[in-house]
Amino acid sequence: MADKNEQVRDEAAGEAQGADGPRGSDGHGGANGHGGTKDDAARLRRIAAWRQAERTLYRAPMERSLGEHLASLAADAGTLTDLGQPADIYGDGVVAELEQRIAEVLGMEAVAFFPTGTMAQQVALRCWAGRTGSPVVALHPLAHPEVHERGALGAVSGLRTVHPTSGPRLPTADEVRDFDEPFGTLMLELPLRDAGFVLPTWEELEAVVAAARERDAVVHFDGARLWECATHFGRELPEIAALADSVYVSFYKTLGGISGAALAGPASLIEEARTWRHRYGGQVFQQFPAALFALSGLERELPKLPSYVAQARLVAAALAEGFAEAGAGWFRVHPEPPHTHQFQVWLPYSPDVLSEASVRLAEETGVVLFRKWHPASAGPPGLSFTEVTVTEAGLEWTAADVKAALGAFLKRVAQQE
């Protein structure tokens, strides 16, 4: 079962890679970690509102029916691979084709397909621990393994984590260089999602990697969303990936696949990773649907990402102007401008009030501006945030459209006070 906290946050972004559920004090969805009837009903109401909406910044995968997913796969498959070949068995066929394609896109020596990113990343860090002789991984406390994997690095792989910084950004070169504990691997999440999809500058990233090398540490990129980083860095994907010793990428987030991930790096590391993939239970008999959707995403979504990033900056600027012009009081659009096609919006209201206003806007006007809101994990009580994602569906929005939708949203917030 997927981590409930991660499922909640994915829907908050409008990405909807998993079902949402309540958040308890442990951060994993209530006392028993399972949603109740009330929460299920609220989730289904939101999905219904999103599906019928005529205008949205993003079309989430959960808004498509099973039949629509299958029809999409059937329509694209013939252009992606030879449909006359046998179905894959334990990673050959179209899965091997996908691995080769990712190696070319990232400019890496070898690639292994994994059923989940959690598994791919744990295997990578475990392999590097054996090679460096150190079980210590330096990463951010908001990084995915720390927040969304229930302590798996320690519980499953026997690794220990340390944090060069606790600031809402990736560590600086000085923080890495001067950190007072030894570590064998530095893991950098690009972008750092839970801090607001934030990225360093290219020069800062180069300096951080160099600082890790000075300590004889290897560098691993959590690149679940690496695809959309190229615009911010002003670099192509192979140049970005070349900074690291290994890179993990996801297929079901930015690229809109149904599942799956890839680990890229030196051939010897990937060969070892395949062994650990088997040991971790990831040697799946057939995975051609996930591989085909991944190939489709590479062809369909990857070339469009620069336009998504540009539009996200327009939307973020219009929101900031709209809040100010409406006299909305305190608000935060973060980061401003966005580093990728995703960013956060913060408001001083309860998440229930803001989520209700968001779903009512969709139901009553056919416009989806924000999706689900969540209580802030830090700061004074009463702050909530949501994550905004802009993809092809949002390209037609003008700044005036954004401000009009925001005005209608704020009106519904006021009606609940």
Task: Tell me the pLDDT tens digit for each residue of 341-387.
Answer: 999 999 999 999 999 999 999 999 999 999 999 999 877 889 999 99
Strands annotated E in 79-181 = 110-114, 136-138, 160-162
Residues, the chain, total? Answer: 417
Smallest Cα–Cα separation from 242: which of 219, 270, 269?
A: 219
- Is the pLDDT reported for residue 255 higher than 60? yes
Cβ neighbours of residue 295 closer than 8 Å, sequence gap 6 or more:
80, 81, 94, 97, 98, 101
User: Which class is domain 4-67+303-415?
Assistant: alpha beta
Task: Tell me the pLDDT tens digit for each residue of 376-399.
Answer: 987 788 999 999 999 999 999 999
Domain map (residue ranges) of the chain: 4-67+303-415, 85-300
What is the separation, in whole angstroms, between the first and last Cα of the chain? 38
Task: Tell me the pLDDT tens digit for each residue of 129-142.
Answer: 999 999 999 999 99
Average pLDDT, the chain: 90
Q: Give me the pLDDT at residue 36, please.
A: 58
Smallest Cα–Cα separation from 260: which of 127, 150, 99, 148?
A: 99
* 8 Å CB contact between 371 and 11: yes
How far is the C-alpha of 10 from the C-alpha of 300, rounded, in Å?
21
Nearest 10 degrees: Cα torsion 49, 391, 296, 303 = 170
pTM over 0.85: yes
How far is the C-alpha of 320 from the C-alpha of 331, rounded, in Å?
8
Average pLDDT (71-83) is 88
Task: Tell me the pLDDT tens digit for each residue of 22-35.
Answer: 333 333 333 334 44
How far is the C-alpha of 76 from the C-alpha of 234, rounded, in Å?
31
Task: Tell me the pLDDT tens digit for each residue of 106-136.
Answer: 999 999 999 999 999 999 999 999 999 999 9
User: Which class is domain 85-300?
Assistant: alpha beta
